[in-house]
Chains A and B, each alone.
Chain A
Amino acid sequence: MQPMPPDTTVYMMAGYVVMLGGILLYLVSLWVRYRQVQADMALLEEMDSEARKMHA
């Protein structure tokens, strides 16, 4: 009879939580940074258009 392998399921699950969680966290960080940059861009655009109006 073949010996049963040890039960290491918890370690396997922890490994995949770390690897998939790492990717997910990085995706979230990219999304947050995109939003911040877009908000900054919109603000600068508004400031530019205000400045153009003042010059006109």
Chain B
Amino acid sequence: MQRPTWVRILEIVAAVLMLVALGMVFFYAPLERIMGQVQRVFYFHVAANWIGMLSFGVAALSGIAYLVTRHERWDRLAVAAVEIGLVFAITGIVSGSIWARPIWNTWWTWDPRLVSVTIMVLVYFAYLMLRQGIEDPERRARFAAVYAILGFLSVPLTFFSIRLFRTIHPQVIGKGGEDAMGQFDMTPEMLHTLLVSLLAYTVLYVVLLWHRTHLEGLRRQVEERKARWQSG
């Protein structure tokens, strides 16, 4: 597969960083005394959710860029960003649910953070469904761009939900509320591990975004050529 040198380099960097992050999660970060081993889920759980939100932000910015320039490359970037964002947001939700089982004694509860993140994921599933429902590429790209911009409102709602509402979800940045269950004080080692995990996920994200955008471009070329054949 043809790809630029910088993508090849980033692929290697992403793989190395993921291995380093995993090593730090299991061998460098200390065992949390109250929660035990399951607390280690936190490092990749936070990183996965960070990528979900970042990716939906990229989709919104791509939507703005598309509406301004009408260049289809922004539409390709937006669809790639939404798809990848969904993958990471869903792994974030499921890993959070697994963490919650021993800590909250339930797989799921209708807490403001869990509700808002579910709404966010459903909003972006609807984005993909909207795209499926519109045949004309220009119209599809325009509608999708507007939707990606409006849909982004669900991201700050999710991020700030634990600060705005009464919640049992722990707060990583700043002090958690009185009701937070599973809150812990981060040691320097835990913070280093979290930062490396965030970096590893971010580099991996850039690589995935390039590949998915490139794939979308190839897919569209195939569709156009098929359409030319069908029209004779």
Contact = CB atoms under 8 A, between A and B. Distances in A.
B95 A19 contact: yes
A8 B37 contact: yes
Contact of B41 (A15, A34, A40, A48): A15
A14 interface: yes
A5 B101 contact: no
Interface in B32-80: 32-41, 44-45, 48
A11 B32 CA distance: 14
Given A7-B37, A16-B41, A23-B91, A37 B229 contact: no
Contacts of B215: 30, 33-34, 37
Interface in B200-231: 204, 208, 211-212, 215, 218-219, 221-222, 225-226, 229
B44 A16 contact: yes
B124 interface: no
B1 interface: yes
A41 B221 contact: yes
B87 A11 contact: no
Which of under 10, 10 to 19, 20 to 34, or 35 or more describes the interface residues of A? 20 to 34
Given A5-B34, A5-B35, A12-B37, A34 B1 contact: yes
Contacts of B35: 5-6, 8
B94 interface: yes
Contacts, number: 96
Contacts of A7: 36-37
Given A5-B36, A22-B87, A26-B84, 6 more contacts: A5-B33, A6-B102, A11-B38, A22-B88, A26-B87, A41-B221
Contacts of A26: 84, 87, 208
B130 to A, nearest CB: 21
B180 interface: no
Nearest to A26: B87
Contacts of B204: 23
Given A15-B45, A37-B222, A41-B222, A9 B211 contact: no
20 contacts: A5-B33, A5-B36, A8-B35, A8-B36, A8-B38, A8-B102, A11-B38, A11-B41, A15-B38, A18-B91, A18-B94, A18-B95, A22-B48, A22-B88, A23-B91, A23-B204, A26-B87, A34-B211, A40-B222, A44-B226
